[in-house]
């Protein structure tokens, strides 16, 4: 049994691989760099698409994977089985809450409406002061460009405060976010000493 | 004293005020049209910003307002004073669930992250097959164009479910959302 890593990142991404090969490449790069840096993965437990690629890459690089799945998905076909820790929760709301509680930061790779929903929720919770964990947006091949435009529109129209812009970090490569996350943890540690 | 409404529309909009003066004016139009159509408002009970503007407009035109509120909001200055029906919930998730259950449809006005979060949650609930109530996106002044473009990018990149576009109706003006809900209710009534 693998020891629980001191820091875990919750990753949201597509349950399929998408049309651009760079997405899969970034999913693998993220899993590998997280494992190398000793960061555990928290995710929804899927075995397909970008989700499965992240989880497999974490395991291949000898990292730690935690899945949080609702009872409705127990025994589903496309789940990833080689997890180190599995949490079974009663419903989708319980799943979201557990994933947030277990994680020290959030990452959005490219994905569909479900990914955007999770990302929006984390941004809304951060803006509402419900957590102070960093949120990373991996803008692979400019995928999230239109969404970043929407955030700017919200700000311009007075619907979003300036403080939230400090809470999400846009990177072009997954490797960047791992080092930024670790630097943030070091700073937080130094500040609390 | 207005009667509790048979039909209710849940409005997602912001507790901040917009800098663009068009947005408050469409919030007023939405509230007025709902009251005239006999459709009650479901909202989080907030008196502030665009949200408060909608509620005021509903009340000013003789409509019905249901607030689904979190403690400690009841009785505080932020709470809309003229609520006809106040339902107190324990947390944000319970609020979302109750608002979903008691509403016949949903409309998103221009707004910030909370509006986006609520909108996206409803659009993905449909994906999980738990939802066949109409969702209207009021694209006032093209406000939501970047989001609609994001959906297009998801389609291009093979991330969008094939039936996704059918999950919401984009309208230019709030009155179209109210008219759409009325038609939906007539069809639903006929089918029942």
pLDDT at B1 over 50: no
The pLDDT value recorded for residue B64 is 96
Q: Which residues of A73-97 are buried (b: 16+ CB within 10 A; e: fewer)?
A: beeeeebbeebbbebebeebbbbbe
When pLDDT is cut at 50, 70 and 90, the band that residue A163 belongs to is: confident
Alpha-carbon span B10 to B119, nearest angstrom: 11
Residues of A in contact with B127 (CB under 8 A): 113-114
- What's the whole-number mean pLDDT along residues B165-175? 94
pLDDT for B128: 62
Which of B44, B95, B155, B159 has the highest number of chain A CBs within 10 A, making it the mutation to test binding with A? B159
Mean pLDDT of all residues in B26-30 = 94
Average pLDDT over residues A140-144: 97
pLDDT surpassing 90 at residue B130: no
pLDDT reading at A1 higher than 60: no
What would the DSSP string read from start to end of B26-57?
HHHHHHHHHHHHT-EEEE--B-SHHHHHHHHH
Note the pTM of the prediction, 2 decimals: 0.93
pLDDT-above-90 percentage for chain A: 76
Q: Which two tokens stand for residue A26?
A: 């970034």
Say yes or no for a CB contact (<8 Å) between B164 and A117.
no
- Chain A residues close to B91, C-beta within 8 Å: none
Average pLDDT, whole number, for chain B? 89
pLDDT at A2 over 80: no
Return the axis-axis angle of helices A113-127 and A92-102, rounded to nearest 10°.
Answer: 60
Which one of A16, A18, A116 has the shortest CB-CB distance to B120?
A: A116
- Say if residue B191's pLDDT is above 90: no
pLDDT tens digits along B58-95: 999 999 999 999 887 666 778 888 899 999 999 888 88
Cβ–Cβ below 8 Å for B112 and A112 = no
Count of C-beta atoms within a 10 Å radius of residue A19: 12
According to the model, what pLDDT value does residue A191 have?
A: 63
Q: What is the mean pLDDT of residues A3-22?
A: 94
Interface ipTM? 0.94
**Cα A73 from Cα A59, distance rounded (Å):** 22
Q: What percent of chain A has pLDDT over 70?
A: 97
Task: Determine whether the interchain pair A124/B17 forms a contact, defined as Cβ–Cβ distance below 8 Å.
Answer: no
Per-residue pLDDT, averaged over A165-192, amounts to: 88
Cα–Cα dist A79/A53, whole Å: 12
Instruction: Tell me the shortest Cα–Cα distance from B9 to chain A, in angstroms.
Output: 22
pLDDT tens per residue across span A83-122: 999 999 998 888 988 999 999 999 999 999 999 999 999 9
Burial class (CB in 10 A: 0-12, 13-18, 19+), A193: exposed
Q: Give phi and psi for B98, each to the nearest 5.
A: -65, -45
User: What is the rounded CA–CA span in Å between residue A75 and residue A167?
Assistant: 37
Residue B40 CB contacts under 8 Å (≥ 6 apart), including other chains: B4, B5, B7, B8, B9, B34, B58, B63, B64, B65, B66, B84
Residue A165 pLDDT > 60, yes or no? yes
More confident site: A156 or A3:
A156
Tell me what the mean pLDDT of segment B45-57 comes to: 92
* DSSP helix/strand/coil, A191: helix
* Mean pLDDT of the region A51-71: 96
Q: Tens digits of per-residue pLDDT, B107-126?
A: 999 999 999 999 999 898 76
Pairwise CB contact (< 8 Å): A150 & B146 = yes
Residue pair A15/A47 in contact (Cβ under 8 Å)? The answer is: no
Distance from the first to the final alpha carbon of chain B: 30
Q: Helix, strand or coil for residue A130?
A: coil
């Amino acid at each position: 049994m693998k020891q629980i890593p001191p820091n875990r990142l919750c990753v949201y991404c597509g349950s399929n691989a998408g049309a651009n090969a760079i997405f899969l490449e970034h999913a693998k790069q993220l899993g590998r760099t997280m494992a190398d840096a000793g960061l555990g993965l928290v995710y929804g437990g899927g075995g397909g698409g970008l989700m499965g690629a992240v989880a497999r890459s974490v395991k291949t690089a000898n990292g730690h994977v935690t899945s949080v799945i609702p009872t409705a998905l127990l025994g589903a076909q496309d789940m990833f089985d080689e997890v180190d820790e599995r949490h079974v929760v009663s419903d989708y709301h319980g799943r979201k809450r557990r994933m947030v509680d277990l994680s020290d930061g959030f990452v959005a790779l490219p994905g569909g409406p479900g990914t955007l929903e999770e990302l929006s929720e984390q941004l809304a919770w951060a803006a509402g002061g419900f957590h102070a964990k960093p949120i990373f947006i991996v803008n692979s091949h400019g995928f999230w460009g239109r969404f970043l435009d929407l955030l700017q529109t919200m700000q311009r129209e007075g619907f979003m405060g300036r403080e939230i812009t400090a809470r999400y970090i846009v990177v072009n490569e997954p490797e960047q976010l791992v080092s930024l996350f670790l630097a943030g943890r070091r700073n937080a540690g130094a500040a609390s000493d | 004293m207005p009667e509790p409404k048979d039909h209710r529309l849940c409005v997602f909009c912001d507790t901040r005020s917009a800098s663009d003066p068009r947005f408050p004016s469409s919030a007023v139009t939405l509230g007025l049209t709902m009251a005239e159509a006999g459709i009650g408002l479901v909202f989080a009970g907030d008196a502030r910003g665009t949200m408060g503007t909608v509620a005021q407009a509903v009340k000013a035109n003789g409509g019905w307002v249901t607030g689904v509120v979190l403690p400690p909001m009841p009785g505080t200055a932020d709470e809309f004073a003229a609520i006809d029906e106040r339902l107190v919930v324990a947390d944000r998730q319970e609020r979302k669930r109750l608002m979903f259950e008691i509403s016949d449809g949903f409309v998103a006005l221009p707004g910030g992250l909370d509006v986006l979060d609520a909108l996206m949650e409803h659009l993905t609930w449909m994906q999980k097959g738990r939802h066949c109530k109409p969702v209207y996106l009021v694209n006032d002044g093209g406000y939501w164009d970047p989001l609609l473009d994001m959906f297009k990018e998801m389609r291009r990149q093979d991330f969008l479910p094939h039936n996704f576009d059918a999950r919401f109706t984009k309208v230019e003006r709030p009155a179209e959302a109210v008219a759409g809900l009325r038609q939906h209710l007539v069809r639903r009534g006929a089918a029942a």
